[in-house]
């Protein structure tokens, strides 16, 4: 198995200050590998990148939900007032409320929403935590399927068994490891190649399988990217920049995205750095997109400045390596510049 490959450099002034390595796969519309770096078949924790696949499992199990609620089920939301209202609505429609949530209490991710939360004298709450949409949808699924809501986070609960089966099916990777995610839900292992496969299937579903649960997930995410992330979040801006793109970020440097034609990207930054995700993802997607205007929009989303005394003095740039560790000539970095050499 290959070691993690160089995927991004942090440039400050005229020097490379830091490097980020990881595993990456870029699949074309037919499922063939356009680019592989590191070991795309290395087993990793996908973290919240799995949420769209989990949401698919809930729909298959009988979840009845509108597109707003479904987008929140796929989200690591920012905790704005709009996000929290949608979560409350999902619970209310099945006769539950936020006291039934068993995810980890927290404040909103969004800085402004968090300040308002603390100013109001509120304590950390499962409602405000970024996974509350997924947990609300899990509870609603239990009600629809006639399963007990108590213990819905137990890996042996029928809900979680359904999720596990769907993850294995869509990724085409056996679930070899199970632990607990930050929100308290079971966390299932996979690979970056498996994530790319799953996102390819979901993103292509509106054209290939209209009316399917996969198509519903894609529609909810692409029509309401603001609910999947939030203000200023790169996952939201990424889906706005590329029509039909289904994308989801995850903790510890995980990211996956699928295009309507079936092209897809799976990414894991080995050191868990979130700052490298967007530059790598946008550069990888650029390999699959022929529209120059779309690539320009991607470059804006993927631009991560390096600050000195509060002003930009550098940036994080993607360095996409071939399987043997050589830079692919002509591959644009996150600002659309051609690679070759280091600062």
In the prediction, which pLDDT does 2 show? 79
Residues lower than pLDDT 50 in the chain? 322-343
CB atoms under 10 Å from CB of 60, counted, come to 17
Q: How far apart are CA 227 and CA 52, in angstroms?
A: 13
Residue 277 lies in a domain: no
The domain of 92 spans 47-188
Output the CA torsion sign for 244, 249, 255, 256.
negative
Residue 299 lies in a domain: no
User: Residue 269: enclosing H or E segment and its boundaries?
Assistant: strand 264-269
pLDDT tens digits, residue range 122-160?
999 999 999 999 999 999 999 999 999 999 999 999 999
| Widest pairwise Cα distance in the chain | 61
Q: How far apart are CA 83 and CA 127, in angstroms?
A: 10
Residue 113 lies in a domain: yes
Residue 28 lies in a domain: no
202: its two tokens: 């979901």
**pTM, to two decimals:** 0.93
Residue 182 lies in a domain: yes
Alpha-helical runs (H) found in 277-317: 277-286, 292-302
Residue 116, Cβ density class (10 Å: 0-12 exposed, 13-18 middle, ≥19 buried): middle
Residue 138 lies in a domain: yes
User: Residue 27: enclosing H or E segment and its boundaries?
Assistant: strand 15-27
43-44/190-191 β-pairing: antiparallel
Residue of 69, 103, 65 lying closest to 84 (CA atoms): 69
Distance in angstroms between the alpha carbons of the first and the last residue of the chain? 30
Residue 193 lies in a domain: no
Residue 228 lies in a domain: no
DSSP string, 170-234: HHTS----EEE-TTSSEEE-EEHHHHHHHHHHHHHHHHHSTTSHHHHHHHHHHH-HHHHS-TT-H
In the prediction, which pLDDT does 329 show? 32
How many domains does the structure of the chain reveal? 1
């Amino acid at each position: 198995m290959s070691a993690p490959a160089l995927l991004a450099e942090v440039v400050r002034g005229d020097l490379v200050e830091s490097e980020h390595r990881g595993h990456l796969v870029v699949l074309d519309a037919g499922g063939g590998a356009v680019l592989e770096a590191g070991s795309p078949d290395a087993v990793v924790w996908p973290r919240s990148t799995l949420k769209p696949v989990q949401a698919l499992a809930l729909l298959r199990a009988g979840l009845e939900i509108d597109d707003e609620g479904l987008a929140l089920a796929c989200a690591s939301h920012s905790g704005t007032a709009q996000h929290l209202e949608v979560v409350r609505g999902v619970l209310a429609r099945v006769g539950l409320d936020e006291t039934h949530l068993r995810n980890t209490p927290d404040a909103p991710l969004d800085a402004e929403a968090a300040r308002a939360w603390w100013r109001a004298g509120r304590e950390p709450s499962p409602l405000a935590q970024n996974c509350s949409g997924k947990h609300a949808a899990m509870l609603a699924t239990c009600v629809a399927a006639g399963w007990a809501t108590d213990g819905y986070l137990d890996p042996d609960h029928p809900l979680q068994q359904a999720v596990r089966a769907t993850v294995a099916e869509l990724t085409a990777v056996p679930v070899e490891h199970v632990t607990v995610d930050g929100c308290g839900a079971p966390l299932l292992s996979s690979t970056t190649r498996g994530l790319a496969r799953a996102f390819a299937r979901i993103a292509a579903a509106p054209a290939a399988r209209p009316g399917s649960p996969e198509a519903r997930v894609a529609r909810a995410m692409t029509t309401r990217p603001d609910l999947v992330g939030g203000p200023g979040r790169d996952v939201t801006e990424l889906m706005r920049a590329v029509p039909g793109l289904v994308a989801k970020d995850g903790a510890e440097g995980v990211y996956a995205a699928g295009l309507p034609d079936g092209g897809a990207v799976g990414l894991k930054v080995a050191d868990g750095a979130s700052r490298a995700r967007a530059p790598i993802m946008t550069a990888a997607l650029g390999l699959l997109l022929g529209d120059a205007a779309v690539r320009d929009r991607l470059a804006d989303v993927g631009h991560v400045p390096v600050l000195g005394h509060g002003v930009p003095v550098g940036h994080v740039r993607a360095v996409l390596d071939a399987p043997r560790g050589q830079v692919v000539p002509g591959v644009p970095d996150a600002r659309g510049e051609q690679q070759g050499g280091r600062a």
